[in-house]
Amino acid sequence: MALTRFLSFFRRSQKDNIPTPLPNSIQDIYQKAANGHVLEQVLWGKTLLNSQYVTPDHKKAYDWFTIAAQAHYGPAHNMLGRCAQFGWGCPLDLPTAVQHYRRAAELNDLWGIYNLAICTMRGLGTLKNMKEAFTLFHRAAHKGHPKSMNLLARFIEEGWETPRDPRAALDWYRRSAEGGDYRGQHNYATILLSQNRPQEALSLWQRAVHDATPDILLAMERELSRPHAPKDPELKALLDEKLTILRAQQENAASS
């Protein structure tokens, strides 16, 4: 009953703050969220975090995630964990983030399992425990989570909490790359290049460069700058453009 009253109040409080017109797909998400659909409540919360269609409002996003989490929806707990980890709409609180990730993992949300594994591996908001992290990555990877596949491959490649097995690591990097994870694509490409398979490596880097974070962009630059690395003018131009923007942002941040 309390949740019903809260949701009714929340619908009324939101109505005047939604810009119109919205694209039909975004409007549909909002309407379903307001009508109690937990998936769309999480999607609408993500829209409020970062979208070109509405003014960002992290506090309201947090509230929508809270509504969905009260229905024991794993992805909502994962997003509450993200909010607590980065201070989106609530105080930054790593132990609370871990609690939400753990609850998401209990509800079999793959992103929750992955984020809990990351925190456990790094000791963020909880004690560092590489054995538990390996178990979590293993669990999510075997359920089809590409980013977990990449980290599982790293554990196997390095022999962390499991015997080293380069062949198995290569297979998990491949599966991660095929699943669309840019880190998996970069790591698999690096191994392929060492095996004298340059065109396959280039194909993976061409896919990875669009979404890659600064650390992976810099790693790609190092690999492609080696004397015998394959040449791809279009890839190099795109990589140079992204790195130029990155370095300008770093210089602006340092001078501000």
Instruction: Give the Cα separation of 70 and 27 in Å (integer).
Output: 23
105-148 pLDDT per residue, tens = 999 999 999 999 999 999 999 999 999 999 999 999 999 999 99
Annotate 70-96 with three-state secondary structure.
CCCCHHHHHHHHHHHHHCCCCCCCHHH
Most distant CA pair in the chain, distance: 68
What integer pLDDT is reported at residue 109 of this predicted model?
98
Q: pLDDT tens, position by position, for the chain (256 residues)?
A: 445 545 554 554 455 466 668 899 999 999 999 999 999 999 999 999 999 899 999 999 999 999 999 999 999 999 999 999 999 999 999 999 999 999 999 999 999 999 999 999 999 999 999 999 999 999 999 999 999 999 999 999 999 999 999 999 999 999 999 999 999 999 999 999 999 999 999 999 999 999 999 999 999 999 999 988 999 999 999 999 999 998 898 888 888 7
pLDDT at 253: 83
What's the pTM? 0.91
Q: What is the pLDDT of residue 16?
A: 40
How far apart are the C-alpha atoms of 69 and 30, rounded to whole Å? 17
- Cβ neighbours, 10 Å, residue 146: 22
Instruction: Give me the pLDDT at residue 3, please.
Output: 53
**In contact, 78 and 109? CB cutoff 8 Å:** yes
Which residue, chain included where needed, has tokens 């650390």? 215
The runs of H, that is alpha helices, within 92-213 are 94-106, 110-122, 130-142, 146-158, 166-178, 182-194, 198-208
| HSE-up of residue 220 (Cα within 13 Å, Cβ side) | 34
Contact at 8 Å (CB) between 117 and 136?
Answer: yes
Over the stretch 140-165, which tens digit does the pLDDT of each residue have? 999 999 999 999 999 999 999 999 99
Q: Which of 59, 89, 60, 64 is nearest to 75 (CA)?
A: 64
